Amino acid sequence: MDDLDRMLAGSLHDAAGRAPSPEGLLNAVRRRSDRYRRRRVAAQLSALAAVAALGIPAGIVLANRPAALPATATREVVRLTAGFQPPAFPYTLPPTGGMKAPTVTLRDGDLVALFEATDQRDHADTTVTVTSGKPAFATAAAETPVQVRGRNGLLRTVDVRPAAQLTLYWQESGRWIQLATDDTYTPQEVVALADALSAASIAVPPPFRLDYSPAGMVADTISPSTMSFRPAGASPGSAAFSVVLRKPRPLTGVDRTIAGHDARLTRDAGVVRLAVDVTDWEATLEITVGAGLTISDDDLVRFAAGVHILNRSDPE
């Protein structure tokens, strides 16, 4: 061992001799922690004493502490899938010379078929509606129990002018069916119309042909101006993704072009909107993705570029 080594060893030996024992070190840490805690308590008591001197209840001070920030709600990301298969109306009436073929729509999850009368003397417009839940009615009516298609049904009569309104409803195959018409028909003839319904599969005609549709969603409304979708587990009528053809609206702040048309994309309060000025149809196409959902700009533009307006559409 040379002189440098001996000096280093001596220094380490002296430092070890001056170091506190483990028990002494732990006690020192505890004493310092207690001093800090006493200082914090004293400071809090001093502050409350000052507040009391000003006549402010201490509870108000404590209640007005900054609250923890709420957790940010997560939003489901909309993905696109190729194409769209419209739903189908499951019944039809026998063809007759006094009625047109049915016009089928989807309204807030309810399938509706209108059989329009062409012979107003012997026939009346008749609407058949298929719903997942028991129908609710806004107007009071006299209700008469009847047998329809081998099941218990109720025939509602609303006495209004120029014609009383008759609605027969019943449950069948896990769904509710309503047949509504007027007193051109007798109650027995209304039941006979219901008995004449036969199984069918009449596709609801959409106003647009879609190259893409929102994955995991079901159609909620299909009308001459609108196609809307809701999450598969959501209640009917709670559409969150909609495509609407509207009469032309001024489009300001154009920020992109889609399929040769001026467009503007906005995000506000969790709602995403894309408006497209479809000049060759003299209309505005508006796509809305509601709160609780989100979609990337690229996917929204891709969806809009794949919306093809059909001749049967009618702007609202």
- pLDDT tens-digit readout, 28-71: 445 554 554 555 544 444 444 444 444 545 444 434 554 544 44
Q: How far apart are CA 209 and CA 40, in angstroms?
A: 70
User: Is residue 108 pLDDT above 60, yes or no?
Assistant: yes
Q: In the predicted model, what is the mean pLDDT of residues 4-31?
A: 49
Burial 134-154 (b: 16+ CB within 10 A, else e): eeeeeeebeeeebebeeeebe
pLDDT at 53: 45
User: Is residue 275 pLDDT above 90, yes or no?
Assistant: yes
- For residue 296, the 8-state DSSP code is -
Range with lowest mean pLDDT among 38-47, 81-90, 109-118, 280-289: 38-47
CATH 3.30.200 fits 88-203, yes or no: yes
pLDDT at 14: 52
Range with lowest mean pLDDT among 44-53, 83-92, 152-161: 44-53
pLDDT at 126: 96
By CB atoms closer than 10 A (0-12, 13-18, 19+), residue 233 is exposed
pLDDT at 269: 87
pLDDT at 37: 52
Structure tokens at 108: 């807030």
What is the pLDDT confidence band of residue 142, given thresholds at 50, 70 and 90? very high
Amino acid at 210: L
Range with lowest mean pLDDT among 19-33, 68-82, 140-154, 262-276: 19-33
pLDDT at 161: 87
What is the pLDDT confidence band of residue 6, given thresholds at 50, 70 and 90? low
Average pLDDT taken over every residue of the chain: 83
The whole-angstrom distance between residue 294's C-alpha and the CA centroid of its chain comes to: 11
Residue (of 251, 193, 200, 242) closest to 220 by Cα position: 242
Percent of the chain with pLDDT over 70: 77
User: Is residue 11 pLDDT above 90, yes or no?
Assistant: no
pLDDT at 52: 44
Q: Which of the listed ranges 44-53, 155-164, 258-267 does the model predict with the highest average pLDDT?
A: 258-267
User: Is residue 262 pLDDT above 80, yes or no?
Assistant: yes
From the candidate CATH numbers 3.40.50.2000, 2.60.120.1690, 3.40.50.11540, 3.10.620.30, the one assigned to the domain spanning 80-84+205-309: 2.60.120.1690
What is the pLDDT confidence band of residue 10, given thresholds at 50, 70 and 90? low
User: Is residue 157 pLDDT above 90, yes or no?
Assistant: yes
User: Is residue 152 pLDDT above 50, yes or no?
Assistant: yes
Question: Taking the CA atoms of the chain, what radius of gyration do you get in angstroms?
Answer: 36
**Is the whole-model pTM more than 0.85?**
no
Query: Fold identical between 80-84+205-309 and 88-203?
Result: no
Structural domain boundaries in the chain = 3-63, 80-84+205-309, 88-203
pLDDT at 208: 97
